[in-house]
Amino acid sequence: MVIDHAWHGLGPGLESLSGPLGAPLTRTVKLIVLPLIVRPALRPELAADFLGPAQVASLDGLIRESGTRLAATAQWFTLLKRTRRALGIVAGNPQDLYFQRCFELATEHGAPAAGADATARAVVEDVADTVDGRTVEALKDHLADAVRRLRLDAKLAAAWERRDPAPSDATAAVALAAEVLEACGAPGPARNSPQYVSMVEAGHGGLFGRALWTHASGVWGHEDLPTHLGLTARQVPQRPEVGRGASTATLPAPLDRTLFERLFVVLQSSARREELPTVPELVKQEAGRSCAPLGLCDESLRVAVVLGGRLAVGLDPLGTGEGAPGRTAAHRAVNSRWRREASALRARRMTVSPRPDPDGGVLDALAQDLRTPWAAYMRRLWVRLHGRDVRDAPLEDLDAAWAVLDGVARSVMMDHRARVRSALRTLSAAPARPAEQRSA
Amino acid sequence: MARDTRAPVDVHVAPGEDGTVRIGAGPAFGQDVAYDDAVAVGPDFTRAVLDVAGAVLTWPVLDDPGPPSAEVHDTGRAQQWLWALYGERVAAAVHDCAAGEPAGVRVVADSTALADSAARLAFGHWAARWWPASYPDGIPALDPDLLGLELAALTHRCQQLFDAEGDQPDDCVAELIEEHQAALDALIQWWRATPQPADTARRLESVLRLVDDAADSVGLDGPALRHLRASLDQGRPVVTPVDPGALFARHDGYALAAGEPLVAGGRVIARGSGTNDWCRYPPGFVDAAENAVSWTARAVGARRQIEVEVLAHVTAPVAGAPLVAEIRVNGGRPNRMSLARRDDMWTGRADLDLSAGVTQPRIEVGVLLPGFDPGRDPDGPDPPGHPGTSGEAEARADRDAIRALVRRRLIAAAQPLAYEASPHDASPGPFLAETAAAATGEDY
């Protein structure tokens, strides 16, 4: 609100950074104003939702001081968008890609002046190039080499041999996970869970992954629930192959994916590709990673799989209130979100029958997925954790872990809604008969 | 609608379930029940909803316009827009509530430009799903592309409500533009052909400029969008007026088939109307009229047969949708009968399990899409908000109220002058799709 008032006080010239009602774009706040101008890390007193008069004045001052630079940023953004169009580049959201660069350009050069066109062109091409070398194409080329494939295959075989399946059961890890989840989902910041830290230190994630290799059962306290929760379609995960192709539509369960398929998913998502290692390095690391417990190297990420599994088995998207062992605060938070989603879907006329309907076709299949929500949840979760593992981004504390667990739940809901929308669109897509034939 | 929508209104801010904060307005004001029950005081088609950053907003479609009810599940994210939608007092009350203030408080909500735009966006999404297009009722369908582009414009206008977290299905401006850009050319033609300073011309230009700005800021490009930009740069040469009804004409001007009866023979023993419950099938399949479902029971020798005819929606697909009729005789188990498309009808015929002695069978017929039907527990309570009444009678009254609402809107849309003096920039007038439909509707 303070930002908004100060923004309006800056006057015209900020249109390309503002929305139609004059407020700054959400990404302007998120990518420019907060991290580059307010910098709450340096000024923790400005990080609160509600500020006292002194902080308000200070925040207001910071933004006003930056007025000229913001106006220049806006001009650079307009120029970069024009340049991008001229170059025929359409990938990515220009706000995500250019906002920070525009602010840097404004800081360095002020408003665009003579020669700015060339600078803009260089920046747009540079941003487009950062991802180069980290593409599916490059992966394909890299793995096309027959000698290299043989070497990788031998490496996978050796790493798989060296595994150490744990005969012990994973129920202890799962019980601990329930305690940790009890500390999640509640409002407020009191999520400093020592249990989470001790789970990571004691290696409960790795233990669970090794138990998966031994076909442990009964881990989730419910006979219908497989220990792997759909992370593999087999009884126990098999040794990953190198692979030479992949398609989004036919990706197998996470732990059944080839090395190619695992990296394909990482390279497919366009977000933060510049943080990735180069393709040869990625391949080298993945050979080891894919033979590690749960296909992940970092222990905090493996613990997140256990937490996610414990959360997933208690999800109740259809609101039946049935089954499922002890639900925790985290379950209540996510299930109440499912309830709101179900209510919104009814209001948007995008429902699926909660009860099985043999005539229901694709809609019934979607409802069936809601009856086993853990499969979609674990698949999504694993992909996200794997993406963190390749970027070497562990989950430092429970807050970070909960943000991922909760975010995955929301993604599963978004997926469901998108699939219902697409199924309904297909059903009504058959072309209508022309009018003249309708009239008899 | 006569009420001044700018007047401040009280809302009720209180802790909800599972750490949420609830803002109650209108019928949900201060209700101490689950959020679902508080906002769902009627059938699903009487609610307009919007998924925004950290909250779900709900408006009752049939009530006077006002601030929405909200269930806030992430107060931190919601604080980005709460003050701009409801005003600072409500934002502060939500903050206190999240900080542990246990008691609910009554707070004055301001009327804001953002609240107006958000209500309109939610209503537009509602119209895209529940608009009760019907041939016998004389309610024309809305052009989905035209409505979709206006929703894209409104979504952009409401950008403050969405953040870049990617978990808000209604934060979909790029998807809306990509899906509906086929209508851009017709929209540009309409704009160019509409004489200034008509209200319609102003609304057309506003939508086109917002779509252009939204496409530019999310980086969409393509021939239709380039044409839009060039047209906006070039301005409006005055050309011959066009008829928007013709521009957006879909193949829906059908005359009802004379209805050659299924030659079934036999003796009619009963006939009647079934229930047309909009919640049991998706939009675009069945005509929304109350009497769109009809049935005839016949005696053919010793057999008893039933024929069901369901009036098809004007844009219904010919094939592919396995609609079924659900038939209950004398309160027994419902049986399904598949329906096939014949002319303007979905029709089916089946044997009826009825002994020859029964002369006045009680027959209930409904229509549904298997797998879609959200269903109600037959042994469960009536839908909330309808204590002691048959939910079906209430639902029928609500459907009538919806028809009356859209008729009022179409009449208003046919008289653009009524909105000429509108002082608000938020375009509270009809949606362009309604204006175009009102023009089409005259041919009905």
| The pLDDT value given to residue A168 | 66
Chain A residues close to B76, C-beta within 8 Å: 49
A351 touching B (Cβ < 8 Å): yes
- B76 found inside a domain: yes
| The pLDDT value given to residue A164 | 83
Instruction: Give the gap in angstroms from C-alpha A244 to the nearest C-alpha of chain B.
Output: 31
Q: In chain A, which residue's Cα lies nearest the Cα of B218?
A: A93
A181 shares its domain with A87: no
**Residues B317, A434: C-beta atoms closer than 8 Å:** no
B361 shares its domain with B328: yes
B275 shares its domain with B243: no
Look at the alpha carbons of A346, A352, A353, A354 in this order and tell me if their dihedral is positive or negative: negative
B245 shares its domain with B275: no
A34 shares its domain with A51: yes
Q: What is the DSSP string of A233-286?
A: SSSSPPPPP--S---GGG---GGG--HHHHHHHHHHS-TTGGGSPPHHHHHHHH
**Residues A367, B318: C-beta atoms closer than 8 Å:** no
Q: How many CB pairs under 8 A join A and B?
A: 211
Among residues B332, B359, B375, the one where a domain terminates is B375
| The pLDDT value given to residue B356 | 64
Q: Measured between CB atoms, which of A81, A348, A359 is closest to B322?
A: A359
In the predicted structure, residue A91 carries a pLDDT above the cut 70: yes
| The pLDDT value given to residue B386 | 38
Look at the alpha carbons of B384, B385, B389, B395 in this order and tell me if their dihedral is positive or negative: negative
- B3 found inside a domain: no
**Residues B279, A347: C-beta atoms closer than 8 Å:** no
Chain A residues close to B320, C-beta within 8 Å: 427, 429-430
A329 shares its domain with A378: yes
Q: What is the DSSP string of B179-204?
A: HHGGGHHHHHHHHHHSPTT-HHHHHH
Please identify among residues 413-432 of chain A the ones whose CB lies closer than 8 Å to any CB of chain B.
Answer: 413-414, 417-418, 424, 427-432
Two structure tokens written together for A95: 């706000």
- B126 found inside a domain: no
A156 shares its domain with A215: no
Q: What is the ipTM of this complex?
A: 0.89
A277 shares its domain with A389: no
Residue A121, CA atoms < 13 Å, CB-side half-sphere = 6
B67 shares its domain with B93: yes
**Residues A49, B39: C-beta atoms closer than 8 Å:** no
pLDDT digits (tens, 9 = 90+) for A256-315: 999 999 999 999 876 677 788 889 999 999 999 999 999 999 999 999 999 999 999 999
Q: Measured between CB atoms, which of A344, A357, A413 is closest to B370?
A: A357
Chain A residues close to B375, C-beta within 8 Å: 353-355
The burial of B185, by beta-carbon neighbours within 10 Å (0-12 exposed, 13-18 middle, 19 or more buried), is given as middle
Q: What phi and psi values does residue A67 have, to the nearest 5 degrees?
A: -50, -50
- B163 found inside a domain: yes
- CATH code for the domain of B308: 2.60.40
Q: In chain B, which residue's Cα lies nearest the Cα of A365?
A: B371
Q: In chain A, which residue's Cα lies nearest the Cα of B17?
A: A336
pLDDT digits (tens, 9 = 90+) for A105-159: 999 999 999 899 999 999 998 888 765 678 888 899 999 999 999 999 999 999 9
CB A282 within 8 A of CB A264: no
In the predicted structure, residue A438 carries a pLDDT above the cut 50: no
Edge-to-edge strand ranges of the sheet holding B363-368: B335-338, B324-329, B363-368
- B314 found inside a domain: yes
Max Cα-Cα span within chain A = 77
Two structure tokens written together for A397: 């504390």
Through-space distance between the first and last CA atoms of chain B, rounded to whole angstroms: 27
Among residues B91, B111, B131, the one where a domain terminates is B111
Residue position matching structure tokens 């069978």: B361
Please identify among residues 345-374 of chain B the ones whose CB lies closer than 8 Å to any CB of chain A.
Answer: 369-374
Two structure tokens written together for A181: 């989840």
B281 shares its domain with B370: yes
Q: In chain B, which residue's Cα lies nearest the Cα of A332?
A: B18
Q: Measured between CB atoms, which of A351, A410, A435 is closest to B372?
A: A351
**Residues B167, A407: C-beta atoms closer than 8 Å:** yes
Q: Measured between CB atoms, which of A30, A430, A439 is closest to B317?
A: A430
What value does the mean pLDDT take over residues A242-261?
92
pLDDT digits (tens, 9 = 90+) for A38-85: 998 888 888 887 888 899 999 999 999 999 999 999 999 999 999 999
| The pLDDT value given to residue B54 | 93
- Note down the domain range covering B37: 9-111
| The pLDDT value given to residue B2 | 38
**Residues B19, A186: C-beta atoms closer than 8 Å:** yes
A45 shares its domain with A152: no
| The pLDDT value given to residue A126 | 85
**Residues A1, B88: C-beta atoms closer than 8 Å:** yes
- B223 found inside a domain: yes
B311 shares its domain with B344: yes
A300 shares its domain with A311: yes
A283 shares its domain with A423: no
CA pair distance A368, B371, nearest whole angstrom: 10
**Residues A427, B282: C-beta atoms closer than 8 Å:** yes
- Note down the domain range covering A327: 166-233+295-440
Task: Output the average pLDDT for chain A.
Answer: 88
B193 shares its domain with B289: no
B369 shares its domain with B273: yes
- B280 found inside a domain: yes
Split into its structural domains, chain A has a count of 3
B241 shares its domain with B273: no
Residue position matching structure tokens 């060039």: B230
Length, in residues, of chain B: 444
pLDDT digits (tens, 9 = 90+) for A189-202: 555 678 899 999 99
A122 shares its domain with A63: yes
A205 shares its domain with A265: no
- Picking from A353, A362, A363, A417 by the largest number of B CB atoms within 10 A of its own CB, the best residue to mutate is A353
Chain B residues close to A185, C-beta within 8 Å: 18-19
B302 shares its domain with B233: no
**Under-70 pLDDT residues of chain B:** 1-7, 27-41, 196-197, 236-241, 249-264, 319-320, 356-359, 376-390, 416-428, 441-444
Split into its structural domains, chain B has a count of 3
A279 shares its domain with A299: no
- B289 found inside a domain: yes
**Residues A344, B51: C-beta atoms closer than 8 Å:** yes
B275 touching A (Cβ < 8 Å): no
B78 shares its domain with B167: no
A264 shares its domain with A315: no
